[in-house]
A and B are shown apart, each in its own frame.
Chain A
Amino acid sequence: MTSPVPGAALCQLVGVKKNYPMGDLVVQALKGVSVEVTAGEFTAFAGPSGSGKSTVLNLIGCLDRPSEGQVFLEGRDVATLSDSALGDVRARRIGFIFQSFNLIPVLTAFENVELAMKLSGASEKGQKERVEEALRSVGLADYMTRRPAQLSGGQQQRVAIARALVKQPALIIADEPTANLDSKNGAAILDLMRTMNADNGTTFLFSTHDKMVMDRARRIIRLSDGQVIDDERVEPSPTPVAAGG
């Protein structure tokens, strides 16, 4: 098992462009983005809607391929990997958290986490314990047998975090994880993610246009119109909960 080495380049975008054909037109979603992310980061991609945040996260998460430029993940050029190899990378090394939670509605909280675990190809041994541990760590020990519809939005997003965490990935990607939550729940989710980052050293990359969320990030990469316009590192605040104000 390769545990992330703090400071080593976990992923790197080099001159990445992404074009989407739209009828006769071509939408340039990314116009040459170069970014390097080190293991252990807790980084926000910030910018207005349509600035390219989701597109960047898709590329880093191996959900999509760049039109131009290169994407390296753990030193490997993603372009050299087949679709099924990309699938394996996603299943084993990357956890996903989505804006609309995207839990499987017919599975219980436990089963949602278990499914991610199984799809990652983790060994059968100790799976149940790991799933329970993941749900306990997000504070849902008493909700394991509930279905998503029986959980609040905040609780659903916690399940999603447990689902991303359970396979102990190198990287967790969260596209606007708080956009569907009220500010209190949103702050709680961010704090939870930050605790996971601090305790396990899991790298978190997330996108947001919410000031409250940006304030909790330790690095903020600002995007505008498909380009990086600012890359700012924030000193770790000793009390993350208070930082929201």
Chain B
Amino acid sequence: MRLLYALALRNARRNVRRSMLTATTIMLGVALLTCGMAWTRGAFGGILQKASNVMGPVRIVTPKFAQKEQLFPLAENMPEIEPILAIARATPGVVGAYPRIQMPVTITVGDDIGEHFALVQGAPNEWYDQALDLSHHIVEGRMFKDDTEAVVGMTAASDVGAKLGDELVLLGQTQDGSISPIKVKIAGISDLGSGAQNRFVYVSLGKMQWMADIEHGATEILVYGATLDDAQAIGEALKVNPGLKDLAIARWDERPPFSAIAGIIGALQSIAAGVIVFITALGVLNTMLMSVLERTAEIGVMRAMGLKRGATVALFVMEAMGIASIGGAVGAVVGGAIAYFVLEVHGVNLGNAVNKMPPGFAIDSVIHADWEPYMLVQSFALGLVMAIVGGALPAIRASRIQPVEAMRSRR
């Protein structure tokens, strides 16, 4: 009813101070939510994007490799990769498919016998470009040019005291387990922004195949779509492809460590949002309850005149939502501005704390939030949810007021 609607909105303006208090509570809640959303999207979104790039959005390996991949089982390789690469590249949505071999090595400079461990990685140059953007993360020197050169992560380099141009000896294994040393010249030193990535040595695929004695093969094939969202469809298509039926195909988030944490991140986000909504709703509840108690007589009058209980509830919920739409709009804009200008453009420096993260978590030291326009709508809507949750109890209380209260109250 139009009159009821007008009544609710005018009631919202009745005690301006109290309504301002309610609106401010909702504004703060909504602003906090907006910043939280932008922050988690920026922090986790960046981590997930990077991690999935490094891990490969979809990966093809042998089933036995998948079982014990922590041990880098070089023997469980795919000896002929060309037909597999051809199948992957012909799959709709795929923009790139690259072989890769990784293994742990000890590294030394010159004739020293080193005790320093590192991971060496061999892949095609296009993979280094597209997945790591390695050439833009070289802080000294340049990208390696051929099989005689390597790029070394800055942590690994400083571990062994290696400088540009030094000869680096990597002591690894072949696929049948015999010791296999190689020598490379350091062409560049890289900083990919994370402690884990900076402990890698990057060489060409050919060098790695030679070192592991896997002449035409690789242990992994990493498949990329245009965006991370394409991984779903690509993964499904590859899993049903008869040409790959003896191989293990997995999306990045189906593999450790993300198989475990993807769900947890989502749940934590929902809980955090739920707590903010709940606390804000308590504030709304407080002020709305005061209004209900204050208006006992007039609610009684309207009930005496035939106002139904449901309409009484609606009257107060509409009032709370009216207040919330102002508080929520301001909160969404203020929160969005903070999220964008402070957290996104400026960023927040977490310092060295993130360098202790395990490999696979490629985290930047400076985290930038990622504010998106859809958050305006989403946080505003959550502001209305706060009003409904916080307004419901007082509204129900109002609807319990008996018509006889109209007679009883004396002022």
Contacts and interface: CB of A to CB of B under 8 A. Distances in A.
Contact of B3 (A63, A90, A99, A115): A115
A99 B305 contact: no
Contacts of B304: 61, 63, 90, 96
B267 to A, nearest CB: 43
A105 B67 CA distance: 74
B10 A87 contact: no
B407 A58 contact: yes
Contact of B308 (A84, A98, A100, A107): A84
A119 B302 contact: yes
B11 interface: yes
A234 B404 CA distance: 30
Contacts, number: 78
A41 interface: no
A122 B408 CA distance: 28
Given A100-B409, A104-B7, A106-B7, A120 B306 contact: yes
B407 A98 contact: yes
B403 A90 contact: yes
A105 B404 CA distance: 19
Given A99-B410, A105-B14, A175-B407, A119 B306 contact: yes
A29 to B, nearest CB: 12
A102 B301 contact: yes
Nearest to A87: B306
B297 interface: yes
Given A88-B306, A106-B7, A119-B307, A63 B407 contact: yes
- Considering residues A61, A87, A92, A114, which has the most beta carbons from chain B within 10 angstroms of its beta carbon? A87
A103 B13 CA distance: 17
Contact of B306 (A90, A100, A103): A90
B308 to A, nearest CB: 7
B410 A104 contact: no
Contacts of A54: 407-408
B299 to A, nearest CB: 10
A47 to B, nearest CB: 16
A118 interface: yes
Contacts of B6: 111
Given A114-B3, A118-B1, A98 B305 contact: no
Contacts of B407: 54, 57-58, 63, 98, 175
Centre residue among A88, A90, A91, A119 by max chain B CB count within 10 A: A119
Interface of A: 54, 57-58, 61, 63-64, 84, 87-88, 90-92, 96, 98-100, 102-107, 111, 114-116, 118-121, 163, 175
Given A63-B402, A92-B306, 20 more contacts: A54-B408, A57-B407, A61-B304, A63-B304, A63-B404, A87-B303, A90-B403, A91-B306, A96-B301, A98-B301, A99-B410, A100-B297, A102-B298, A102-B301, A102-B406, A106-B11, A115-B302, A118-B3, A119-B305, A121-B306
Interface of B: 1, 3, 6-7, 10-11, 13-14, 297-298, 300-308, 402-404, 406-411
9 contacts: A58-B404, A87-B306, A87-B308, A88-B306, A91-B306, A98-B301, A100-B409, A104-B301, A107-B10
